[in-house]
Amino acid sequence: MTMIEVSDLHKSFDGQEVLTGVNFTVEKGDVFAVIGGSGQGKSVLLKHLLGLIKPTSGHVYIEGEDISALSGPALYKLRDRFGYLFQGGALFDSMSIFDNVAFPLREKTKLKPAEVKTRVDEELDKVGLTGFGHKYPAEVSGGMKKRAAFARVLVMRPEIVLFDEPTTGLDPILVDSVHRLILWGQKTYGFTAVIVSHEIPKIFDVAGRVGMLDKGVMVEVGTTGEIRNSGNPVIRRFVHGAGENLNGENSILNAAGRA
């Protein structure tokens, strides 16, 4: 069953086109990765899925409902099905880790304080943050912030989780931890996931299907195997890490004069 369908999505900012006709679908329960170079519009695309940004043209359907056409209470109702893990975590600075994770429960449910505490303690334990609830975001590391933000997402048991570069800025060990956490969360709660990531090739161990965004379009969508073995030169360059210097030579070794 198709959970997310992006249809001919275009987006411009002040005349500059960022997305120029994106098309792809995500099936229910899938883990779909969006890969691509920096500045290709991956985060912009992700925000369209939640209706945080409205397209210049095109549509985003969530189980057949066009989220890009919604506003007000109807949009908020559809958003209740989502969780969004922002690149920097987006924890509220003025609240402790505990209060951050408790925030959606307190605001959107009728749980009693004791029940909220139990749920939050459980989620913090699952992400390995037991004992850190009293700390503030400024007092913890980047990896801990991401885990706290993930706990805040999971505490509401969303059907769809969007991850905006969940491992950016983390060391390789933490990258593995976050990926394992995503896989564990997806297996435990069964959500549909869309992950924007630079982590090649590690993201292929997490995702079931991958789409490569380049110059505002999805150049190819397929399984991780299909993308890894793609004959498309843009994808091959990105996946196998061949760089370009500024005047377009194909090999960074050429540019360094060491080929």
Partner 1 sequence: MLNVFQMIGAWALGILREMGSMFIFLVNTVLWMFRPPLKLGRVMRQVSFIGSKSVPLIVLTGGFTGMILGLQIYYTLQKFGAEGYLGPAVALSLIRELGPVLSALMITGRAGSAIAAEIGIMRITEQVDALESMSLSPFRYLMVPSLAASVISFPLLASIFNVVGIYGGYMVGVKLLGLSSGTYFSGIQDFVQMEDIRDGIIKSLCFGVIVMWISTYQGYFTRHGAEGVSRATTTAVVMSSTLVLVWDYFLNSLMI
Judged by CB under 8 A, the stretch of 85-93, 165-173, 183-191, 207-215 that binds partner 1 is 85-93
Could you give the CA distance from residue 233 to residue 215 in angstroms, rounded to a whole number? 14
Options 8, 27, 65, 80; binder of partner 1; rule CB under 8 A: 80
Give every CB contact of residue 207 below 8 A, 6+ residues apart in sequence: 31, 32, 33, 195, 224
Could you give the CA distance from residue 162 to residue 166 in angstroms, rounded to a whole number? 10
| 107 near partner 1, rule: CB under 8 A | yes
Options 24, 32, 35, 86; binder of partner 1; rule CB under 8 A: 86
Could you give the CA distance from residue 119 to residue 125 in angstroms, rounded to a whole number? 10
With respect to partner 1, which residue has the nearer C-beta, 20 or 87? 87
Give me the 202-221 binding string for partner 1, x by CB under 8 A, dash otherwise: --------------------
# chain residues binding partner 1, by CB under 8 A: 22
Options 7, 12, 103, 128; binder of partner 1; rule CB under 8 A: 103
With respect to partner 1, which residue has the nearer C-beta, 194 or 227? 194
| 79 near partner 1, rule: CB under 8 A | yes
**What are the phi and psi torsion angles at 87 (to 5°)?**
-60, -45
Options 83, 133, 185, 216; binder of partner 1; rule CB under 8 A: 83
| 174 near partner 1, rule: CB under 8 A | no
Closest separation in Å from C-beta 50 to partner 1: 6
Closest separation in Å from C-beta 150 to partner 1: 13
Could you give the CA distance from residue 11 to residue 41 in angstroms, rounded to a whole number? 9
| 60 near partner 1, rule: CB under 8 A | no
* CA nearest neighbour of 44 among 21, 18, 65: 18
Strand ranges (E), the chain: 2-13, 16-27, 31-35, 57-62, 65-66, 82-85, 160-164, 192-196, 209-214, 217-223
Could you give the CA distance from residue 132 to residue 126 in angstroms, rounded to a whole number? 13
